[in-house]
Structure 1
Amino acid sequence: MLKIYSFETLPSTQRWIEERIAQKKIEAPCAVIAQMQTDGVGSRENRWIGKRGNFFASVLLSEEMLPDDLPLGATSIYFAFLMKKTLENMGSEVWLKWPNDLYLKERKTGGCITAKKGGNLIVGIGINIVDAPHDFRVLDIKTEPMELLETFLKNLKNLPSWKQIFSNYSLEFEKSKNYCTHDGSETLQMSDAVLQNDGSLMIGKRRVVSLR
């Protein structure tokens, strides 16, 4: 089990890692978890915050630990799907909406973002375990944040290839076609989207990349 830093409250688990990388105070692999996050980082520069007891964690991995065939633009899909499988094995019916949103039925319950820092990758994950804002969902299974993190980290010991993840996710991707996605400030319908081998989408003649 890799080293876990645990806190009662942090502004952002991702920024905590970024700051300590800059200060050369930590090195991969490691993880950080907070019982409460007050200024978390979400997709498209949104904030991811929530009440105490929800899941707020980030994992720091070196690029050498990643599968050789994993495209950089697909890292959020890859790790979000690994968390989805972790939750599924614990009894959840969560599914992954392209590229990085964890959904229960028609509403979001969590998400994953990744950020490359030097030769490292920061994987940030937030999940509504005990409380959710309006129009979001609470996770459909009972678990504690540390239990979930430790279970997820066990699944990172032997990372599957991108090819393996893609072959499984491509089947689930059909659910995403009922929703929209964003390319910059533009909202795009995914009804006719075609998932590419590198995790990007082709919507008409437009290629949309999941860099998050």
Structure 2
Amino acid sequence: MMHCPETFPIPLIHLEETDSTNRYLKQLCDQSTVEELTTIVAEFQTSGRGQRGNTWESEAGKNLMFSFVLYPTFLEARRQFLLSQLISLAIKEELDQYADGFSIKWPNDIYWHNRKIAGILIENNLIGSSISRSIVGVGLNINQTDFHSDAPNPVSLGQITGKEHECLVILAQIIRRFKESYTSIGSNHAQTIGSRYQQALFRSKGMHRYKDTNGEFLATISHIESDGILVLHDEQGKERRYAFKEVQYLL
């Protein structure tokens, strides 16, 4: 059982079990008025979803599986990658308080060295050129020690630190970090957020192996553009540009 902090920074709905916190929150928003940053957290998900249609393995009561709602109507659809940067940084920078070695694997997986500790799925609704609603779903491994799926490289915070952690205390801190950055987007320069994100990137330096539709190659990360495009420079010095799902990291 997760123990909720006495004060929580946003409205929290705590479920014992659901098929997907993203789906539950979407249905709730479709049926009623839901305050921004309202968060659904579940002890167990029967069919949690990740990027590329993957599922997220999580032992009941051991990890954080949560979703929260945003109404970023001030944000043009072409700038939606900014939300991905903000939540990735909030999680990564909170985990930095517990150990070294965390990074963001483009676009928004959280890694500890070469092992994945968190995944993020953001689902946006658009009206015209603006985002009307975003549902942000996160799976973050906290206390699980045994993983049985075919995922190649999972790790938990408990495995890293050798200690058990209070899931909802970590969730509260992640939400506080995100809320602080999100509410100041208007006065913050996207360039500052982009710089923080760039510095936090997995394999931000050196040549590493990638794969696209033409095969494997070695490249270094040049930069990430404001719309989320990954720009690489290969061994021949050629610039390669990729949208999400167009290139694969080889671990």
Instruction: Calculate the TM-score normalised by the size of structure 1.
Output: 0.82
Q: Which has the bigger relative contact order, CA under 8 A and spacing at least 6?
A: 1
Which residue number corresponds to residue 137 of structure 1?
155
Measured after TM superposition, the shift of residue 101 of structure 1 is: 1.0
CA deviation map 1:44-65 (0-9, x unaligned) = 1111131021110111111047
Q: Distance in 2 between matches of 1:188 and 1:72?
A: 29
Alignment of 1:28-107 (within 5 A): 28-52=36-60, 53-64=62-73, 71-91=79-99, 93-107=101-115
Q: Among residues 176, 194, 199, which one is paired with 1:171 in the alignment?
A: 199
Q: How many residues align?
A: 208
Which residue number corresponds to residue 231 of structure 2?
202
Q: Is the 8 A contact 2:22 2:67 kept in 1?
A: yes
Aligned identity (percent) is 24
Q: Which residue identity is paired with 1:59?
A: F
Instruction: Calculate the TM-score normalised by the size of structure 2.
Output: 0.71
Q: Which runs of 5+ in 2 are unaligned?
A: 1-8, 127-131, 233-237, 246-251
Partner of 2:44: helix, strand, or coil? Answer: strand
Q: Is the 8 A contact 1:6 1:33 kept in 2?
A: yes
Partner of 1:6: helix, strand, or coil? Answer: strand
What do you get for the CA RMSD once the two structures are aligned?
A: 3.0
Q: Distance in 1 between matches of 2:216 and 2:35?
A: 38
Q: Do residues 128 (structure 1) and 162 (structure 2) align?
A: no
CA deviation map 1:6-58 (0-9, x unaligned) = 01111111111111122235342311101111111101111113102111011
Measured after TM superposition, the shift of residue 122 of structure 1 is: 1.3
Deviation larger for 108-117 or 127-136:
127-136
Work out which of the two has the higher radius of gyration on C-alpha atoms and give 1 or 2. 2
Measured after TM superposition, the shift of residue 191 of structure 1 is: 2.3
Partner of 1:41: helix, strand, or coil? Answer: coil
Q: Distance in 2 between matches of 1:34 and 1:153?
A: 16
Q: Is the 8 A contact 2:103 2:202 kept in 1?
A: no
Q: Distance in 1 between matches of 2:91 and 2:67?
A: 12
Which residue number corresponds to residue 116 of structure 1?
124
Alignment of 1:11-26 (within 5 A): 11-24=19-32, 26=34
Q: Distance in 2 between matches of 1:187 and 1:122?
A: 34
Q: Which residue identity is paired with 2:155?
A: R
